[in-house]
Amino acid sequence: MQYLLMATETPEAFAARTDPERSGPYWEAWNTYIGALAESGVMTAAAGLQGPDTATTVRVQAGERVLHDGPFADSKEHLGGYFVVEVETLDEALAWAERCPSATYASVEVRPFLPMR
């Protein structure tokens, strides 16, 4: 079964990505996690995302496209990246989510993929 692990991050974590004093530990934690996923063979896809200030939200209202700068929700946590893992059980997916760096300062949402018909 495939699961999507959605790693959220706080604004402070997004800032650590490029802060000269904090970027080393930040990227070391993520590289360690990504390396473990890759070595285990369960990761089938992954990507980090740029900050929410680069987002554009699209809606169609009365047949017209309406664009909004930024993410849809005003939140204290933003989607920072995702991982697709293929494991046998939800418990295995949850174990990988628990190891994700953002689980210690924000959250990781785990969702099973919808089976194709």
CA distance 46 to 117: 24
| Extents of the domains making up the chain | 2-112
Report the pLDDT averaged over residues 24-46: 97
Query: Strand (E) positions, 1-117?
Result: 2-9, 43-48, 56-61, 64-69, 78-86, 108-112
Q: Which of 16, 10, 13, 6 is nearest to 78 (CA)?
A: 10
Average pLDDT over residues 70-90: 86
Tell the CATH topology of 2-112: Alpha-Beta Plaits (3.30.70)
Closest CA to 29 of 45, 9, 43: 9
Q: What is the pLDDT of residue 57?
A: 86
pLDDT in tens, 47-78: 999 988 888 888 899 999 999 887 666 677 88
